[in-house]
Structure 1
Amino acid sequence: MIKNVILKFIEFLKSGFKKVLQYKKCTIFAIFIFVFILISYKYYQYSYIVKDPSELKRVILTYGNYSILAFLIMQVIQVVVFFIPGEIIQIAGGYIFGTFLGGIISTIGISIGSLLVYYISRYLGRDFVKSMISKNKFKFFQKILKASAQVHMIFLLYLVPGIPKDALAYICGVSDVPVKKFIIFSTLGRLPGIFISTYFGNQMEIGQMSTLIVIAVVMVMLFLIGTLKGEKILKKITKKRH
């Protein structure tokens, strides 16, 4: 009797596993959406910690020897759940670990997150990315990447402040951009912004108010230029190449 029940249960598991494999893409999509929504909810629930560098430092350092790993995972999550402000996390990295180490950890975390996003979007396809990104942004970046030397444009897209860089990683995943070039040039484009942010965070921790004011003014100006004029600048560069 018990043996028959166990055998039936094993058969049930086997048939269930076969169905999961049969609808693998749908299953992965459902899992991704569930995790995305869960992390989004948790972020809004605890966003006050993320926005307070001293509180975030306290939380991260409670992990002791694993504090670097905890921050690295946070940085990866920030890239995947792209509406979480990356600059805040990078500033926190400088506040907690200093300019250099904070910048290195952020760069590694962002690169891992970007690689993960690239492969997720490549596997789940164009319709998935369109459901995640606004139609206008999707069309604009696809057009830019197709109409120009991709390597140069990837670098510029990630260099210009105000461009939604983490959302862009999803679009690159369904473009013709090879993964190696994507990681190399997106990372190079991000480096100045990452280290400016971590330096800002480090100066916050030290309390250098005059330096903070200068950096903040420059960062805000660059961000506004990138947000208001970034797309026009990129369009002009693309036209000059053709």
Structure 2
Amino acid sequence: MHDHSASELPSLRRQKILLILERDGKVMASELSQHFAVSEDTIRRDLAELDNAGLVQRVHGGALPRPKDTGKDYFTRLDEIDEVKIRLAQLAAQQIRNGQTVMFDSGSTSLQVARSLPRDISLTAVTASPMTAIALSEYPGVKVILAGGQLNPKTMAAGGHEALRLLSGIKADLAITGVCAIHPEVGITSLHFDEVPVKQALLDCAARVIAVTTADKLGAVEPFVVAPCERLHTLITERHVASGNVEDYRRLGIEVEQLQD
């Protein structure tokens, strides 16, 4: 039975190719072409994109898995923060007001927002990320509440019942989140299953949610669904994105702010 729905959305089809690759240990372009009812040229383009992203290793006629964990741990990702992410973080920091209670998601993007606040800001900050808590503690007027629990070495954030209990007991004015992937139909998705409940709690407990993301995350899909896009109030992203992407989110009622050149 052909998977026509996946053929309509390249990002979804590529995600399913990754799942098939994980299951079978190898994929062949000819078989994937029949499975998804698309041409082999389309599949080859899919495999080329996945290879460029470091997710598969192309071989003649198909692809093999990349070795697990290419070494890009949390600290490596921090070192790779570029000018665009810094500018996005600065734009998000301008949305934060004195006196607010603000939740900061885990991840390098939210950490960069924390580092971009005005020196004299006064607020209550809540986070499950020790790195973000340390950055926020450098501001004299910021009271930091750190959610505890078991530390996930991949995300460098706390998770589990202890973190969820603390987060769910707070009513925040604002939540700042980065996203692994966001798709107008699939919603906000994550690469890590165990961080989904904490991200959901963060979205549930804030009156307003701001997502900060580079353009490559728009239209992407990861395996674990966090929430529909409508849970976001503001999306901050780059100026130049794939045609139509930004309007898809505006049609859902999300305010979209883009960097100016």
Task: Specify the structure having the higher radius of gyration (Cα).
Answer: 1
Structure with greater proportional helix content: 1
**By the TM > 0.5 criterion, same fold?**
no
TM-score (norm 2): 0.24
TM-score (norm 1): 0.26
